[in-house]
Amino acid sequence: MKFANTLLLLGAAASFVAAWSKEDHEIFRIKDEVEATEGNINFYEFLNAPSIYATQDELNKAYRKTSRQIHPDKFTPPSKLRAAGKTPTHYPPKSTYLPQTRKQADERFARLGLVANILRGPERERYDHFLRNGFPRWRGTGYYYSRFRPGLISVLLGLWVVTAGGAHYLVMRMNYTQQRKFMEGYIKDARTAAWGNSNLGAGLNLDVLGDSGTPPPSGPAGNRKQRRAAKANGGSGTATPTAEKPQHVAKRKVTSENGKVFMVTSLGDVSLLEEDEDGVVQEYLLDLEEIPKAQWSNTAMVTVPKRLVGWVLGKVGMGGKDAKDALKDAPDVTIAEGENVDEFLEKKGLKKRNKGPGKR
């Protein structure tokens, strides 16, 4: 089984390597030689062409000029140039290579001819393709594209963003949707049982507060949504006596199958009634807008670093103190009865005396 898997992997690798043509391998080989000697330059820069979009005439002109400059017959060892007080110059300008021997000069001139043949022939299109999209690297058995291998820090950061950011936000979003759907169901059933179709609230018991014929003459001047809109328009949001006719709000108590008791007003407000240990009934308005929405700023990806930074600043003394803490650290000062405040400050050295002429 292992032998078969090995053959399968070798076959896949061989097929992938075989995807490169003979001309491609020649381009890769010359490209590696140019970078190993001349530096990190491409064929156009080695030829000293105007740009990668140079025409054939411009390429021919650049080749003739460069071949004259680096011809082996003009080669002079850099050591002799320095001994004569001359500084060796690099050509082409972007190259960092200075051949030290005549053999190296011959090899360089030969590479220049190979590069010129590629750029002036049909292989130029193939070379431009690799120049735009990247060249594969030699991996011991063939030319392969290198794959990105994230490090430990990159993996941890990615997991943190996915779990503490995306996953936490998704959970918050699901909780918000479920809570809103749950509350909407309670509100709908309570309103239906109190004022609507009795078939929809068949499982709820009805208890009307006040006389059935006359609704109680008390209640707010509007439901919660109306009061919020009034406050946004410039009002205080509180019930202010006006000259308008007061609105009478009827209330009905509804008990669900699970024992939950709700108070439903004729305005549509639904409140949950709960009795505490002291027997006091507390009323909690069911408001869909008060359900916390899912926000990226509330995810662990944001809150945990903020808390950590605040904890570190507090440890190093940069977190600051509250006004109450500052008052606690302040020393107690007591002024004796009948003692003047100015005299007390002068006694403590907190106020300077006026000793100018004309002052007493």
Question: Taking 90 as the threshold, does the pLDDT of residue 341 lie above it?
Answer: no
Per the model's pLDDT, the better-predicted residue between 143 and 170 turns out to be 170
Question: Taking 80 as the threshold, does the pLDDT of residue 246 lie above it?
Answer: no
How far apart CA 28 and CA 137 sit, in angstroms, is 8
Question: Taking 70 as the threshold, does the pLDDT of residue 333 lie above it?
Answer: no
| pLDDT on residue 190 | 86
Per the model's pLDDT, the better-predicted residue between 265 and 205 turns out to be 265
Pick among 1.10.1060.10, 1.10.287.110, 1.10.645.10, 3.30.470.10: CATH of 14-144: 1.10.287.110
pTM: 0.42
Q: Torsion over CA of 75, 80, 81 and 83, rounded to 10 degrees?
A: 180
Where do the H-state alpha helices sit in 71-122?
78-83, 102-119
pLDDT-wise least confident of 147-151, 183-187, 237-241, 313-317? 237-241
CA-based angle 264:271:253, to the nearest 5? 40
pLDDT band at 106 (very low <50, low <70, confident <90, very high): very high
Question: Taking 80 as the threshold, does the pLDDT of residue 176 lie above it?
Answer: yes
Domains of the chain by residue range: 14-144, 154-236+247-290
| pLDDT on residue 226 | 58
Which residues have a Cβ under 8 Å from the Cβ of 329 and sit 6 or more positions away?
321
| pLDDT on residue 154 | 87
